[in-house]
Every structure is written in structure tokens, then in C-alpha cells.
Structure 1
Amino acid sequence: MGEEATTVRNRDWVIKLEEQVLSLDNMNEDFWKKQSIYRVPTYIKDLNIKAYEPQLVSLGPYHHGIPKLMAMEEHKYRALHNFLKRSDHQISFYVEALEEIVEDLMGSYEQLDEKWRDRNRFLQLMILDGSLLLEILQGIHFSVSSNYAKNDPIFSKNALFKNKDVMMEDMLMIENQVPLMVLTTLLAIQKGRVNEANGFLNRLVFCFFLDAKFVFRLQPSMDINFYKGLHLLDLTWQMATGQRNDNVSEREPAFDIVESYIVLFFSVSYLYEKAQVELKKSETDNLNGIIFENGVLSLPIFRIHSTTESVLLNLVAFEHLHAGATHQVSSYIDFMSALLNSAKDSSLMRSINVMETTWSDEAVPIFIQKIRNDMGFKPKYKGRLYDINQELNDYFILRTKKWKRRLHEWGSNLKQTYFKNPWTFLALIVGALLLVCTLIQTIPTLQSL
């Protein structure tokens, strides 16, 4: 029996299985905290696969090597070449700096393929993709494009403007992220100012996405120096929602997670017509601009453009997959899908300048409902939009009940005063007839004047 056990233990697959099981000892709390870049689950991706697949450039390991994206690979080397030309350091300085944090960088990726466990291969990917991102981010507003030929197909100013939307869409896909630690490390060495790298990177991102055509527009007054993101998608999420995360490695839910969904019973036109809810454009373009006070609902501009669908769904996927992330964008989609229920709602929002799109009023509600369905889950939370939802529902009920109560009181008074006594009722009828006759006699007189 002992010999048989020894034989079993010596089998290759048993040895490999034992090694694999023992390796799980390292999957402690710190292991999960590092993860911030995720593969979208198949059941969600199948709802709208195009929203999660890059069209022009692969960033990070998940989509590297896909044939349709290979054309950009040679341009990554040119980006690194020009990045190094503006630096006083050789490439070895950057590699050594990235090597010090390589375990954290690898740990950022969920389900990292075994081939990317090769440190040298992984570091090469990080420095190539990191330098490409920095060249793109600096290309338009920071004159880096002047280092390239005027007819350069990728990095000239004209090419960057032409490709900006599709590049931006690719850069904000959850499976297509590079940890910001890569970018800040490269910038710190190139600029020689370690403490300023995070703030400078934030300015790059802010300027690049300032005129972005997806839902949330970044504001010039935004204090960008205090944001610290895990990757570009997370940093954009923070700026768009107005929620700063000081400790991104240990992010905790800002709201209680409860078994509650947004259930807004009334569309924006119904609230306006039936409950006299006043609508106005918010002074703030991020989600903090949604405010309901004293019967006035303030809304940030809702923008629908070519990148809106993909960016929203990737922000939602990040909220859904990242432990501790709040469901602010998911809840916003829920909220807007309730407000925008018909072409009438879309027309009303357009008339008060809280909608920006070239789409028809009929197409807008269909679009937002599609995004709502493609989310693949219902956000569970208790936060600002949940409270505003409740306040709107309560306000509607209060207003409509008030009018019903007044109508009921008026009818009761009428019945009590005039209908209780038949002689009083008869007097009311006679008085009404006399009033009608008087009006009939008055009309010819007015016409003769």
C-alpha cells in the first residue's frame, strides 16, 4: 500500500496538481487587492461584444496579438523611440524602475495568462504600451506631435485628431488597460520630478478627454491634482462622477449595499406636467450635478455620441467587477432610463439644454434602454440617486394627492352648499342660466364696438 502511494505521488500530473494547489497559499487578501483590470464575464460580453473589443490598438496583455490590432505594434516602437529621445536616460533606467514594481503590475491583471508570467516579456509589453499612451496623451495639447512628421499616420496632430474618438474608446475599455503605475514611473524618470508625476499625468488625461464626446464632460475648474487612479478607466470614472478615491488599493463602498433598485415611476415629462417639477441644467457636469430641491430637478447634460455606449458599458463593468467600487454610473443609467421613456421626454430635455445629440427624439429612449439592458445586472446600492429617486416619487404623490384633495374638497363644498337643499340647487341652476343669457346679450354689443 505504501509503495502504491509513493508511485501515485510520483506521477507527473499529481506533482503538477500538488504544486498548483500549494501555490494558492499566496492568494491572500493582498493578492485580491492588487487586481483592478478584469476580463468581462461572457454572459455580459455576449450582450454587446463590440463595446468591449478594441478597434485600433491593444493595451496590456488581454488583446495583444489579435490580428486586426497588429498594425499598431510597429508604431509602439516608434513611440518609445521618440519618448526616449526627449529623455536624459537610456531605456535601462526605465526597465529597472518598472522591474521594482513588476509583481504589483502583474497582480493588477485578473486571470493573467501563463505566457505573461515571463517577467522580461511582460516588462517589454508595459514599457511599449506605456510610452505609446504617453505619446498619444501628450500629442495634441503638449506639442509632442511636432517631433513627428507632419504626415505621420498616427502621431501627427492631424492623425491624432482624426483617430481621437476611436483611440479614446479603446483606451477606456476595461480589458484594454495599463496600470497608471507604469505611466507615472515613466514620467517620473523622464521629467526628473517624482513627486509631480501623478499631477502631470492627471493634467495629460484631463486635457485629452476635455472635449470628449461621451456622456460626462470634464470641467476646467476641476481640482485634478487630488485624483489618483488605478488606470485610465478608473481615473476617468473618478473625474466623471466627482468621487475622489484617496486610497485606491483599499477602496471601500461609499454607500451601503442593499437589496434596493432605482424604481422611478414617472418619466421627466410626466413629472413636469402632472407634478409641476421644474427642470433646469445643472451647473456641474458630473453626477454630483443631479440635485432635487424645492421642486426643481437639476440635471447635467446627457450626451449621446459615437463613443457613449462603449464608454458607459465599460465604466459599468468596472463598477460591477471591482471590489468596493460604488455603482454610481450604473445607477445613473437606471435613473436616466426611467426619466427618458418616450420621444416626449427627449424633446423636453432637449428644450431645456440638458441633452446633446444629433439623434432623433424617438431614438434616444431606445438607446438608453438598450444600454440599460446590456449592463447585464441591476445595481444594488443606497446612495444619492436612490435618495433623489425616493424624493421625486414622494414629491409626485404629494403634489397629485394635494390636487385630488382640493378637487375633492371643492366637490364636497359644492355638494354641501348647493345640492343638499333642492331649492338651493334650483337657485343655482336659475343663476347659471341668467349668467349665460347675460353673456349672450353682451356679445352683439361687443361686436358693434
Structure 2
Amino acid sequence: MPRDDDITVHVEWLARRLTQQQEDAAATEQHRVTVNTYRVSRVPGHVRDHNADAYTPGLVAIGPLHAADVRLRAGTRLKMAYLNSLISRGHPDPAGHLAVIQGYVRAVAAREREARAMYAAEDVETLRAEDFIQMLVLDGCFIIEHLVNVATGREEPALHATPFGAAQLSVDLVLAENQIPFFVLVDLIASTRLPEFDTTGYGAPVLLVKLVLYYLGGEKGRDMSEHLPAADAVGHILHLLHAMVTAARTRWEPAPRIQDSAPVEMMQEAARLLRRLPLLLLVPLLYPILPEESRWNASYGREGLPSASDLKRMWVRFRKAHGGGGGGAGKAPAGIAALLGPVPLAVKLAHEDQLRLPQLRIEFRTAPLLLNLMAFEQSAEQRGGDVSAYVWLMAKLVQSREDAGVLVAAEVVESSAAGSESKDDVVRFFGKVGAASEAAAELEKSYLGKTLEKLRERSQHPLFMMWADVQRNYFTVPWAVVAEFVAFVTFISTILQTYGSFKH
């Protein structure tokens, strides 16, 4: 039979253990509440199910959420090699590597609880402290070594040995589920000697921000470091990317109309009107016999948005947004941010009929980039965020191959596919990413609110509605060719008559 004093010892031991556990849990939860805005969490199933691959790393797991994925073992070997390479930059003698690694472990261990709070409890509660710290050291040093290699132009044969390795890594590093705390990267780079940057005079936080921005956007990104949050206000790399693309948009304005070109623009507008004149004369004849179900109000409600082809029928001209007018926004971006154009998210209805849009390049990295930026907005409770609003707009504009052709012709969308397949790819792409956008409810409060209001006002104007309805329902390609020919003949005849009257 157990003695009373044995029971007393067990009770005290259990009570002490529970007390310590509840204190640790309370402290961790307090950290979790503090960093809740930029926590790294799994993308919800109702969002993830549509595009599961877009949120899953293909080469390297960063952080705990995909660390157990057996497909990414090659990435683990790569991390070990990069750890050695990073340390060797400032310590060529292997005898000094142990001390450096000890410094890394101490730096990360000092903020282990804070780092754990960046993740949902169920994602890290089974990880021992030693395993969690080792993971952050390996992942953080791998990222830093890759950033330094890119900034210094150093070749990475181990990375390029994997097909599409560098391109896939650029996706993996911006996935919402593949992030580690930014402060871990700051502490690790502060514990690393990088002779290549000794003369810059940058402290560890500033140097890290500049390296990340250069990796994401080239020199254009690095130049933006003064306009973005300081390192201690950045949650992770995806957060910094989001800040970069939204800041580029807020600093951009379309180039003003040049006064000297006003007469030329007037002549161009007159020529466009002449080309439309034969069709315009037929609108009063054809519109009254148009079936009610084929009219504009049956296709779009007052809150709807016309597609690109219908907006074009309403005399809206699509133009790609060029850099400039925004304090350094003229430099073309490199890195993964280049997919969003020289001025990401730049949407502006200029001169009432010119819709400026960023040039979006569609390739295998574009969907993951947009989807994970939207996932960050949704996790950070930025309802109606800039990226979500932009994707919603583009998905509404592209509803058919005809719509895709309009934007491709205007160089607003660039697809890696060739020929007619390009239009189909564009339609599929926007159907895919548009399904993940939840911006519609807060769209009027987004940066696109005024632009959408103006486009909807235009789409409700009786003249534009009738003009678009008649074109869409009656005029096929042969009609358009005939109309263009008639308009051209009319235009030449008018010029000759005007010239003859002046000569007379």
C-alpha cells in the first residue's frame, strides 16, 4: 500500500508541473494575441480546396506547417549545405563553425516562445524546443544564404541542379503557410559575419530588409525600403512583399495629358468617331427590335461590372500602366514581383475613357503569388484588401475568350502560352484566382471604389447601353469589317472634300 507521504509528493509534483504548464501556456497565448495580425496559419479548407497546390511548397519547407512532407527531403539536404556556406563566408576555418552555430542557437532560443506564438498552437505543440529551434536556425540560415547569393550574383549549382529550382524557390518563399518570423531572420543575420556588406554601414535589420526587397523586386524593390515598415514591424517575408506591392500602387499616378498633344488627340478622337458613325446610325433602328432578355439590364445588374469586351463597346480604352510619376516607380521590377508589372495593382480610369491596368504576366508562378497575397489579406483581416480587390476586378473583366483577347491586345495581360491557347489560358487563370477573392463585400471601400463607381455609371448610361447591346447582338466580324471599310472611305472622302474647299 502506498504511504501518505508518497501521495503527498506526487500531488505536489503534479501541482508544480500543472502550474508551470499553465503559466507557460498563458505567456505563449499572450504572445499569440500580440502577433495575431501576422500569424502564420493554414489556409482554410474552403479556400484551399480550389487551388491546393498553390499553397503547398514544391522544393523547400520553411517553418513547421510542411516540415514533415517527405517530398521535400531534397530541400532539407540543401539547407545543410547552405548553412555551411553561410558560416564559411566570415569563418573560412571549420574550427570556428561550432561557435557560430552556438550563437545561432542562443539567439533563436532566446525568442522561442515568441516564435511559437506566430503559429497556431496545434501546429507547434508537439514540437520539442530543441527541434523547433533547430528548424528555425536551418530555415533562417538557408533563406539568408540564398538572399546573399542573389544580391552578390553568386551561382548556386546545388539549387539549379533541380529543374526549375530557383523559380520554384521564389514561390516557396512567399507562400502563406511557408513562413518563419521575420525577427528570427534579423537575429540570425545579426549573428552572421558577411564580409561582402562590411562597407555598407547597414545594421542587421536594414540590411535584411534591403536583401529581401532586392530578391522580390530587384533594384526597384531595394529603393523602396525607406517607404516600407521597419524590420521590427514586419511579420514575415510575405507580409513585406504585400507591403511592397501595395506601396508601389499608392505612390503611382498616371502620366498627365501633355498639352502639346491635345490637337493630335482631338484628331484621333474624331477619326474614332467617324469609324463608329455607320454603326451608330443603325442603333436607333436596331435597338427597338432587340429582345428584352438580350438587353443590357438583363446581363448586368446595377451592382454588376461589364466585361472587358463590353466596356470596349462602351468606348473604354484599355492601356497598360507605365512606371513614372511615383517617386522612383519607373524602374522595372525583377524577381517574382515582376509578374505584377512595373507598377503592381495600378488601376486608374484616366480621362473618363482610358482604363489603366498593370501588366500582368501569366506563368506557373503567377497564381500562387496572387492567391497567397490574398490569403495573407484574409488572415490579417484586411477585408477588401488591395490584392483581393484587384483580382476581383480582373476576374470580372475576363469572362470569355473575347474579353481575354481585348486585354492581351492592350498588353495588359501577357501569357506564356502562344496563339489561341493563350486566350483560353487567360480565361482559366482568372476563373481560378477569382474564385478565391472575397473582396466583393468590401469592394466599395477598397482603392478601386471610385473607379468601379465611374465604370458602373458609364455602363448605365442609355447611349452606351444601347450601343453595346446592338454591337453585341447584331454585329459579327464580317459586319465590323464592312463598317471599318465604310468608315475609312467616309473619312478619306471627308478629307478630300475639305481639302478641295480650302483650295477653291
Establish whether TM, by shorter chain, passes 0.5.
Answer: yes
Give the conservation status (yes or no) of the 8 Å contact 1:242–1:286. no
Change in Cα spacing, 1:316 to 1:180, as seen in structure 2 (3 Å) is same
**Counterpart for residue 100 of structure 2:** 90
Quickly say closer, same or farther: Cα 1:342–1:16, change in 2 above 3 A.
farther
User: Which residue in 2 is equivalent to 1:164?
Assistant: 166
1:177 aligns with 2:174: no
Matches within 5 A, 1:266-281: 266-274=306-314, 276-281=315-320
Alpha-carbon distance in structure 2 between the residues aligned to 1:161 and 1:399: 55
Q: What whole-Å deviation, never above 9, does each CA across 1:148-190 have from its counterpart, x for those lacking one? A: 7xxx432xxx548941111112111111112221222222233
Contact 1:227 1:244 in 2 (8 A): no
What aligned pairs does 1:378-393 form with structure 2 within 5 A after superposition? 380-381=442-443, 382-393=445-456
Q: Which amino acid aligns with 1:102?
A: E
Tell me, yes or no, if the aligned pair for 2:136 and 2:180 is still in contact at 8 Å. Answer: yes
Paired with 2:316 and 2:361, the residues of 1 have a C-alpha distance of 22
Cα RMSD (Å) of the superposition? 3.6
Asked if structure 2 preserves the Cα contact closer than 8 Å seen for 1:56 and 1:167, the reply is: yes
State the shift of 1:264 in Å.
Answer: 4.3
Contiguous gaps of at least 5 residues in structure 2: 1-10, 92-98, 251-301, 324-341, 468-504
- Return the alpha-carbon distance in structure 2 between the equivalents of residues 244 and 342 of structure 1: 28
In 2, the alpha carbon distance for the partners of 1:264 and 1:33 equals 39
Task: Give the superposition deviation at 1:339.
Answer: 1.1
1:3-402, aligned counterparts within 5 Å? 25-26=26-27, 30-35=31-36, 36-87=39-90, 90-111=100-121, 112-116=123-127, 118-145=128-155, 152-154=157-159, 158-159=160-161, 162-189=164-191, 190-191=193-194, 196-210=203-217, 219=220, 222-228=223-229, 229-242=234-247, 263-274=303-314, 276-284=315-323, 285-295=342-352, 296-324=354-382, 327-359=385-417, 360-375=422-437, 380-381=442-443, 382-398=445-461, 400=463
Cα distance in 2 for partners of 1:240, 1:204 equals 16
Q: 1:58 offset after TM fit, Å? A: 0.8
User: C-alpha deviations, 1:327-351, integer Å up to 9, x for none?
Assistant: 2211111100111122222222222
Other structure's SS at 1:65 match: coil
Amino acid at match of 1:113: V
Letter in 1 for 2:225: I
Q: Relative to structure 1, is the Cα distance of residues 266 and 377 closer, same or farther in structure 2, using a 3 angstrom cutoff?
A: closer
Distance change >3 Å, CA 29–CA 16, structure 1 → 2: closer
Q: 1:14 to 1:313 in 2, by over 3 A?
A: farther
Shift of 1:367: 1.8
Tell me, in whole angstroms, the C-alpha distance in 2 between the residues paired with 1:283 and 1:128. 40
Asked if 2 retains the 8 angstrom alpha-carbon contact of 1:264 and 1:335, the reply is no
- Mark the runs of 5 or more structure 1 residues left unpaired by the alignment: 1-9, 212-217, 246-261, 405-449
**Structure 2: distance between partners of 1:331 and 1:77:** 41
CA deviation string 1:355-399 (max 9, x = no partner): 111231133122201221245785535121122111211133247
Contact kept? 1:178, 1:231, Cα under 8 Å: yes
- Aligned to 1:384, what secondary structure does the other structure show? coil
1 CA distance for matches of 2:313 and 2:392?
22
CA distance in 2, matches of 1:223, 1:233: 16
Question: 1:64 offset after TM fit, Å?
Answer: 0.9
Contact 2:389 2:446 in 1 (8 A): no
